[in-house]
Structure formats: structure tokens, C-alpha cells
Amino acid sequence: MSSLSGKTAVVLGASGTRNFGNEIARTFAREGANVVVAARRKEALQALADDIGGTAIACDVTDEAQVERLFAATADTYGGVDTAVFSAGIYGPGMIAELTAEAIRPSLEVSFIGALMFFKHAAAAMVSDGSVITVSSLTARLPGPGLAVYAGARAGIDYVIKVAAWEYETQRIRFNSIAAGLIETDMTGGLFEMQPIIDAHLANTPAGRMGTLEDMAEAALFLADDQRSGFINGQVLDLSGGQHMGRLPRF
């Protein structure tokens, strides 16, 4: 029997062709889960849902009513939710001296407020023994110039999971985060065309290689499966090949 056989998982942020949410959804489906994929544009999700035998639901995480409907629809279809993965985010770089409130808000709306609303309604749809997972970043562990907004929002949610673990203890819902190093995705693909950037990261990574989408999906599978990680709660899992012990490259 597959590890998630009969379980239901919601993966938000799965509309790309090469991104964390997409790969996690595919892995969960292979492991036997009923998978609901969500993002703002349903058209981009439908091909993925068709491919994995899942369900696509449009959801803008900045609208709480849509987040609530996402989990209500999932519960109506599958009887409940066992795992929920928040893989949405906006990369908004900028030096503090150049930031404006208007430039800051989009990242906070998605990566912090949106994640909190996702936690709220995911937990409400879970009877007990659920797993909520958020995708964070190495940059929330290691500071670097220009990352105040993006990394700050991620670091904030990495703390919130610890609060949530206590608040939902009676439901036995676990909250964990995966802090990913630089991995090639739709968003970061351009960086992988610049060999000096990759070389600099490799020089600061004890594992001696870059991470992959498969690494991320396996980490999410581990945290989703109560048999594998049922005693892990309120933790940030560093998925960086050891780079979190060092520093971000300077360019």
C-alpha cells in the first residue's frame, strides 16, 4: 500500500510547469493520495489535475473567502483533508532604503497573511492527525542584501508554525516548514544559466550539489506521512545540502 493511500491532500501554488507545488502534487498522487491542486488560474492547473487524476480549484490566497471555499469544496468531495501544502509566494527583492509600503504589501498579502488564512481553513477541514506544510526559503535562515521583504515574510511564517502547533494540539495537527535552498524552477531558471552563481552556491554547500524538485517533493512526502514523521511538529526542515550552516554567496 502506498504511504498516502486513501488520504486527501491540498496543494496550493501548483500552476507552474516546474515548481515545488507541481512536483509535490505529482508525488502525492503517486503515493495514493486524492490531490486537489489550487492556484489563481484554473486553466493552468487543469492539465496537471487531469494528468494525476486530481481536482483543480481556482483560489486566490489573498481572498480569505476563496481559501475557505477551497477547503470546503475539498471536504465535500473527499470527506475531509489530511494534508495541506502552502507553496505560494512572491519574490519581491529590494534594498530597505528603496522600499515603499506599496512594494512590500504584495509579498505580505501572499506569503504571510495568505499563509495564515491557509492554516486557519486547512485546520478547520481536518478532523484530527493532519499535517500542514509550508514552503519556506534558505534566505529566511541566512540574511542577504535585498531580501528583507521576501525573507522576512517567510521567516515570520516559520515562527507561526510553532504557535500553530500549540494552538491545534488537541486536534493533533502538525505544522512544519521546508526551507529550500536554491533549486531550479520556473522562477529561478534564469539563475541556473549563470554558472558563477551556481559555482558560488556549490562552494557554500557541503553536499556538493544543487537541490532538485525531487528533493523538495520527498521532503514534503516525509512530513505528510504520519508513519514517517508523526513525532515531528513545529519544525523548519533545512533542505539546502548543509548550506544553512554557512552563508549566502555575495555577488
Lookup: cell for 151 = 525573507
* Per-residue model confidence (pLDDT) at position 57: 97
pLDDT for residue 87 is more than 80: yes
pLDDT of 66 > 80? The answer is yes
β strands within the chain, DSSP E: 8-12, 34-39, 55-58, 83-86, 131-137, 174-180, 236-239
Residue 251: per-residue pLDDT: 60
Q: Convert 164-179 to b/e letters by CB count within 10 Å (16 or more is b).
A: bbeebeeeebbbbbbb
Q: What are phi and psi of 86, to 5 degrees?
A: -100, 110
pLDDT in tens, 100-139: 999 999 999 999 999 999 999 999 999 889 999 999 999 9
Q: pLDDT of 170-229, one tens digit each?
A: 999 999 999 998 888 877 777 777 888 888 888 888 898 988 999 999 999 999 999 999
pLDDT of residue 205: 87
Compute the distance between CA of residue 120 and CA of residue 142 in angstroms, rounded to an integer: 28
CA distance 84 to 123: 9
- Tell me the pLDDT tens digit for each residue of 3-42: 899 999 999 999 878 899 999 999 999 999 999 999 998 8
- Kindly list the strands in the beta sheet with 34-39, ordered across the sheet, starting from the edge strand earlier in the chain: 55-58, 34-39, 8-12, 83-86, 131-137, 174-180, 236-239
Residue 68, pLDDT score = 98
- So what's the pLDDT on residue 102? 94
Enumerate the domain spans of the chain: 8-185+212-240
Domain 8-185+212-240, CATH number (from 3.40.50.150, 3.40.50.2030, 2.40.10.340, 3.40.50.720): 3.40.50.720
